[in-house]
Structure 1
Amino acid sequence: MISSWRKKRASRQANKRDGLDDLSNFEISIPSHFRCPISLDLMKDPVTLSSGITYDRCSIETWIEAGNNTCPTTKQALNTLEPTPNHALRKMIQDWCVVNKSYGIERIPTPRIPLSSHQVTEMLSRLVAACRREEASACGEVVGRIKRLAKESEKNKRCFVANGTVGVLASVFETFSKTNFDKNALVLEEVLLVISMMTPLDGEAKSFLGSNSSLNCMVRFLSGGDLSVRTNSVLVLKHVLSTDQKKMEEFAKIEGSLEGLVKLIEEPVSTTTTKASLIIIYYMVSTSSSSRSVEKIVTRFTDMGLVERLLEMLMDCEKSICEKALGVLDGLCLYKQGREKAYANALTMPVLVKKILRVSDLATEFSVSIVWKLSKNEKREDGGVIVEALQVGAFQKLLLLLQFGCSDRIKGKATDLLKMLNLHREKLEECIDSMDFKNLKRPS
């Protein structure tokens, strides 16, 4: 009897498997009018143009944003570029999905209606009014809604940006930065978060965020905020300071500003924050201004151990960070304080020569520039860093650089370096890593 039951169970399981196999071999056919004429995929958000043809919103918006003002199917000029949601067809597609659920078809979600310029203007009016009354909670509610809607879709974000939202938010940030910081810290954090989502900043926003009170507020976040707030602060500061020498000098005068940037390099939060910090520092130390304030900034950075940290970072970092770190080091070595720190570090020449022809053209240019600055200003009679450069293969690398081609701005420095190195070359044998030349190609 038990044997008979086992046979029946095995038979049922075999039939079940056969049924599943049949189901897996069955290919569901999507009705042609449910497919987008552009992508040929099942439409998730069908919208109809003035030509009467329906497309998936994502596909047709990409078509329109590319500068087209005709219907892709009929080639007819469109009376309006704003498509109309086709609710009836969307409901039919959703019902079809439910019916075919057993075949693995998932029901398409009901799409959210994109923002209109009128809705954005209305929200911004409420935000401005609440800001004038200095009602932090009311401002926070509106800013929170802007954040949620901006995260919903790129179209919403573009609508906010196009209607001047960033400038209004920057104005709100400046207003509350002048008030009690501890009391309004939460709304300031929220505003800063939304601004960081909508970069790059326009001139109006930079003006508000570049004010003394705004900069002081962001420095406080940079120094003592949680990780997300520090991230938002450095991302916004990168756009605010940019190449504005006056703003950079004002920023540097704020207590804790430079320390906050260096801390993000010493204790990295993310690759993004490290890059942003390096970019800001690069702007500050590589300016063409002859102002004494730049030299003071460099002194402060070198006293914080930035040269040593950059050299440690360069031993193992990705291409983008490597280029930016070398750029900062090149700027620091314009000044005596930076060069002295580089002379004193045993990693300097091995790391710099290693980067030549190894990472990218930009990294090579920065590396050669730094080696040139250090060699040109070398005071030791025994050759010092020049001898060190020879020992780690600089002479052969520079010859290859000139042979394979380089920009005019670095060619002169490479030639000068070869002359300086040649004076000590007979005394030493160079050590070359063949991996440095593995991917070299002669220019076409």
Structure 2
Amino acid sequence: MVLGWRRRTSTGHRAAAAKKHSPAGKLDMEQLVIPNHFLCPISLDLMKDPVTLSSGITYDRQSIDTWLEAGNFKCPVSNQVLRNFDQIPNHTLRTMIQEWCSQNQHYGIQRIPTPRIPIMPVEVSEILFSITASARRVDQTGCLECVHKIKKWAADSERNKRCIVESGAASVLAGAFDAFASDGVQRNATVCEEILSALSWMMFPALDEETQKYLGSHASLDCLVWFLKFDRDLLVKQNSILALKELLSNCSDQNKHVVEALAEIEGVDKMLFDYIKEKSSVTITKASLMVVFYSVSFSEQFRSALLEMDLVSLLLDTILDSEKGISERALGVLDSLCDCKEGREKAYAHALTMPVLVKKILRVSEMATEYSISAVWKLCKNASRQEERVLVEALQAGSFQKLLLVLQVRCADEYHTKEKATELLKLLNPYRAGLECIESVDFKSIRRSF
């Protein structure tokens, strides 16, 4: 493998690397060859940030980072087991590369900029300690300086972001957010906005337990809702609703008190209803639907309040007139509402419920199909004598043929979805005579299982 790499660093490959770093048409490939020691042994590209490992071999920092993060513990060229993972910047080689670029600018070669030195965990720990101390004293100025420094580090590189997250910054910032929110939202709005902005990219893929505790406090929830109600900055609103979504997505029966605390905040149900209705931005609409989804799943108070506002009608309008991601989430909320008698009654009362649900089967995505079939199944299975018309409506909308196709194609949750489709076919079969409807456009581009 090593010999293979070395053979590849021929004139042709060096010229190709040079071409990659220069505008098309400005380089005579026969006149310019990149010196072999300027190329990264892994990527074969001109090194932008050369670093030397304990094995003595120099690589471009981005390439060797990728190699090490993949779980490799040996030097790619020498195959030696690395004594440590320290990466020492090779300033001499970088200066030589920069000088070579400057000398060959007439060929279209752009000078490699001097890279920023990555931060170390000890630096992050010092800043986080200062943030905790500033929050304890409710020192806005001191906290803002530290938060701005963290945001600046994060903007420099993905490596810095990982270092910040791995140092436990999310829980420290969430604790500071809670402290300033407890002291007064309006008085500390600026610092809370900055903390929330820094937290926005740290909350994925999931919040740790301590961060959940701080963001789920009454003071933090009040602050997030206050931003959503009164702040004029769309980005602040977006960060707030995303924080609520991530917070509620970690809720379970053991910690559903977070949803209950949110439901107790005056006007929060009306605010979420309006965000879905207004569609101020795709991100906010999607996040609002997810907050509603988790809320109605864990809080009867929340569910009842939203149903009284005619949430079912709003969801049906949203499903009909929105892009894929929003339709999926709206279908998910509608499916969740059909779990309770009150939600099903509202769905039975709306003339568009069954036509819209059936229409979306096999039309939007596998997830949308799953939610649609689940909602139709709940409505048909729980229909009383007076509500049996929904089975007729389902047949008139073309559900029987679609359900037969669902049994033959792949689904996101194949077992449960096909099980519900089979039960639905049994429920609908007695009403089939003269009521079948087929719309061929619904069956285009179906992903077959064979």
* Same fold? TM cut 0.5: yes
- Distance change (3 Å), C-alpha of 1:405 and 1:34: closer
For 1:48 and 1:205, how far apart are their aligned partners in 2? 37
Contact 2:392 2:431 in 1 (8 A): yes
**Higher mean displacement: 321-330 or 372-381:** 372-381
TM-superposition CA deviations, 1:147-174 (whole Å, max 9, x none): 1111211111111111111111111111
**Higher mean displacement: 142-151 or 278-287:** 278-287
Match of 2:36 in 1: 32
Q: Does 1:65 align with 2:65?
A: no
Contact 1:298 1:335 in 2 (8 A): no
Match of 1:148 in 2: 152
Match of 1:264 in 2: 275
- Distance change (3 Å), C-alpha of 1:119 and 1:237: same
Match 2:417 to one of 410, 419, 442: 410
Q: Does 1:276 align with 2:287?
A: yes
For 1:223 and 1:23, how far apart are their aligned partners in 2? 55
Contact 1:131 1:172 in 2 (8 A): yes
Gapped regions of structure 1 (runs ≥ 5): 1-20, 288-293
Match 2:338 to one of 333, 340, 352: 333
Match of 1:13 in 2: none
Aligned 1:307-318 pairs, distance under 5 A: 307-318=312-323
Contact 1:150 1:156 in 2 (8 A): yes
Match of 2:303 in 1: 298
Match 1:240 to one of 247, 252, 270: 247
Match of 1:12 in 2: none
SS in structure 1 of the partner of residue 186 of structure 2: helix
SS in structure 1 of the partner of residue 407 of structure 2: helix
Which residue identity does 1:215 align to in structure 2? L
Q: Does 1:170 align with 2:174?
A: yes
Question: Scaled by the length of structure 1, what TM-score is found?
Answer: 0.88
For 1:298 and 1:130, how far apart are their aligned partners in 2? 40
TM-superposition CA deviations, 1:253-302 (whole Å, max 9, x none): 11122233333322234333333222222222234xxxxxx332212112
Match of 2:161 in 1: 157
Q: Does 1:421 align with 2:428?
A: yes
For 2:85 and 2:410, how far apart are their aligned partners in 1? 50
Contact 2:410 2:447 in 1 (8 A): no
Match of 1:393 in 2: 398
> Post-superposition shift, 1:321?
3.0
- Distance change (3 Å), C-alpha of 1:173 and 1:329: same
For 2:306 and 2:274, how far apart are their aligned partners in 1? 11
TM-superposition CA deviations, 1:340-388 (whole Å, max 9, x none): 3323333322221122123333322211121122223434658432222
> Post-superposition shift, 1:339?
2.3
Aligned 1:13-162 pairs, distance under 5 A: 25-26=28-29, 28-162=32-166
> Post-superposition shift, 1:101?
1.2
Match of 1:211 in 2: 217
Contact 1:206 1:239 in 2 (8 A): no
- Distance change (3 Å), C-alpha of 1:57 and 1:388: same
For 1:22 and 1:163, how far apart are their aligned partners in 2? 47
Contact 1:298 1:337 in 2 (8 A): no
For 1:134 and 1:106, how far apart are their aligned partners in 2? 48
For 2:41 and 2:27, how far apart are their aligned partners in 1? 27
Which residue identity does 1:161 align to in structure 2? V
For 1:26 and 1:37, how far apart are their aligned partners in 2? 21
SS in structure 2 of the partner of residue 111 of structure 1: coil
Which residue identity does 1:425 align to in structure 2? R
SS in structure 2 of the partner of residue 423 of structure 1: helix
> Post-superposition shift, 1:434?
1.5
Which residue identity does 1:398 align to in structure 2? L
Question: Scaled by the length of structure 2, what TM-score is found?
Answer: 0.87
SS in structure 1 of the partner of residue 54 of structure 2: coil
For 1:437 and 1:427, how far apart are their aligned partners in 2? 21
Contact 1:349 1:385 in 2 (8 A): yes
Task: Provide the aligned C-alpha RMSD in A.
Answer: 2.2
Which residue identity does 2:131 align to in structure 1? L
For 1:178 and 1:441, how far apart are their aligned partners in 2? 53
Which residue identity does 1:98 align to in structure 2? S
> Post-superposition shift, 1:30?
1.5
Match 2:446 to one of 433, 440, 443: 440
> Post-superposition shift, 1:79?
1.7
Match of 2:366 in 1: 361
TM-superposition CA deviations, 1:391-426 (whole Å, max 9, x none): 110111112223447634234432332233233321
> Post-superposition shift, 1:337?
3.0
Q: Percent identity?
A: 53
SS in structure 2 of the partner of residue 205 of structure 1: helix
Which residue identity does 1:103 align to in structure 2? Y
Contact 1:45 1:90 in 2 (8 A): yes
Which residue identity does 1:438 align to in structure 2? K
> Post-superposition shift, 1:335?
2.2
Contact 1:375 1:385 in 2 (8 A): yes
**Paired residue total:** 417
SS in structure 2 of the partner of residue 44 of structure 1: coil
SS in structure 1 of the partner of residue 51 of structure 2: strand
Match of 1:18 in 2: none
Gapped regions of structure 2 (runs ≥ 5): 1-23
> Post-superposition shift, 1:48?
0.8
